[in-house]
């Protein structure tokens, strides 16, 4: 399973997303998005699925599909 979060130090939504993932016990790799050509952040990549923004329902669905959580 491959989970990456593209974020920036100044992004409040990025920090909220990572705190939520930590609470869920999900392991992920944080990648600094400064200097990358992204239209918006945070971006969460779960295997081949990419979710833009802190969209809890979409991220939760992708995590369940990937087997990262069972809730």
Q: pLDDT tens, position by position, for the chain (71 residues)?
A: 799 999 999 999 999 999 999 999 999 999 999 989 998 999 999 999 999 999 999 999 999 999 998 76
Residue 52 CA to residue 6 CA, distance in Å, equals 10
Q: Are 16 and 53 in contact (CB under 8 A)?
A: no
Contact 69, 26 (CB under 8 A): yes
* Predicted pLDDT at 70: 78
Q: Could you count the other beta carbons within 10 Å of the beta carbon of residue 52?
A: 14
Sketch out the chain's domains with CATH numbers. 3-66 (3.40.30.10)
């Amino acid at each position: 399973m491959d989970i990456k979060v593209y974020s920036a130090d100044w992004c409040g939504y990025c920090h909220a997303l990572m705190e939520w993932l930590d609470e869920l016990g999900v392991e992920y790799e944080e990648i600094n998005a400064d200097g990358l050509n992204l239209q918006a952040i945070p971006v969460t990549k779960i295997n081949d699925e990419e979710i833009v923004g802190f969209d809890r329902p979409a991220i939760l669905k992708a995590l369940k599909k990937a087997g990262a959580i069972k809730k």
